[in-house]
Structure 1
């Protein structure tokens, strides 16, 4: 017999959902060149039956191409220069995440990443990998854009995380554009959609790209 915690959720296609929301270097009015760099790498692991958090990975990342954060970036994300100085660079953080991922034997499970938009895994990680010549791990090649899931479920478009929270009648938690706080809110949206009976399917897929370095 199903427990009270799982009875209200439909059977899902995945055993685990990995909620992800990168923060990256930025400046007001234009993109940083030659590339944006990830400065916060948070992932919350949700159980696919209970939609409760079972683990989390959270690292700040030291940028190397444009190592000094702009005041705009700090104001937007709450990430100060001191929070990224002397932190591991992206390749080391990717290795740490790979270890974390494998410690939980997720490759043997049905899993998928969940983001709020396609930027994190379709654009940012791949562009940074291309510029810095590292290979993006294969498990980042498919994901769920929670905005697309919301649109499919409700029949109309949700324009961002704050809009989705409002439409789902959820209280915003923490600071908007803090990566770890955003993952907490995206996890809440994911759980609320499931509680309304939604069964998640992948919405985004990126081609695997080869590079000169590997995190494994």
Structure 2
């Protein structure tokens, strides 16, 4: 069994104006074995098609530059590369993300781009399970969970690969407790 601990960043606007559809602009992921060994990483930027110009709010939040997005590949190419990285053979895998936003966003983007999405279904919502495992009254954000589990945050928040790396810390600590 392989786990793919991942995070995405998406287009965003301050206050979320009506009619603005979010699109994935970055995917970051790490492979983790059933024994907790961290394997290879995947990291790509994606050029959005509905709103190709990132808002000032989004650029400030993610620190992703417009020039980098302009050079990025489209969703169809990146998601195919990600799918091939996730499942290069028949070994079983489960995707894991902090919350349900990442999976919902990828499913929405697959629909938008007419891409296969069945491979996204074996999935763990780590945020919801973490709440249950720790008996918390409400869900805890990733940075808070990292801190409460005794780790230091590494990298920048709201960058997909850095967020995935920090998620891996919590994931590995509770490796035998996740339900999938």
How high is the TM-score relative to the length of structure 2?
A: 0.91
Q: Is contact 1:125–1:136 with CA below 8 Å preserved after alignment?
A: no
TM-score (norm 1): 0.77
Partner of 2:19: 33
- Alpha-carbon offset, residue 179 of structure 1: 0.8
The structural deviation recorded for 1:170 is: 1.1
Does 2:144 correspond to 1:163? yes
Question: 2:156 aligns to what?
Answer: 175
Take 1:167 and 1:102, find their aligned partners in 2: how far apart are those partners? 32
- What is the 5 A alignment of 1:32-181? 33-49=19-35, 51-103=36-88, 105=89, 108-121=90-103, 123-130=104-111, 132-156=112-136, 157-181=138-162
More strand by share: 2
Q: How many residues align?
A: 179
Aligned to 1:208: none
| Kept after mapping to 1: 8 A contact 2:76/2:115 | no
Structure possessing the higher radius of gyration over alpha carbons? 1
Cα distance in 2 for residues equivalent to 1:172 and 1:163: 10
- The answer on whether the counterparts of 1:59 and 1:93 sit within 8 Å (CA) in structure 2 is yes
Bigger drift between 25-34 and 157-166 goes to: 25-34
RMSD of aligned alpha carbons: 1.7
Between the aligned partners of 1:74 and 1:88, the Cα distance in structure 2 is 18
Q: Which structure 2 residue ranges, 5 or more long, are not aligned?
A: none
Output one character per residue of 1:141-197: Cα deviation in whole Å (capped at 9) or x when no partner. 131111222223221144210111122111111111111100000001101123xxx
Deviation of residue 48 (structure 1)? Answer: 1.3
List structure 1 runs of 4+ shifted beyond 4 angstroms: none
Is the 1:62–1:86 Cα contact (8 Å) retained in structure 2?
Answer: yes
Distance 1:96 1:150 in 2: 30
Corresponding residue SS for 2:31 = strand
Counterpart position of 2:179: 201
Contact 2:9/2:26, CA 8 A, preserved across alignment:
yes
- Given that 1:35 and 1:128 are in contact with CA atoms closer than 8 Å, whether structure 2 keeps it comes out as no
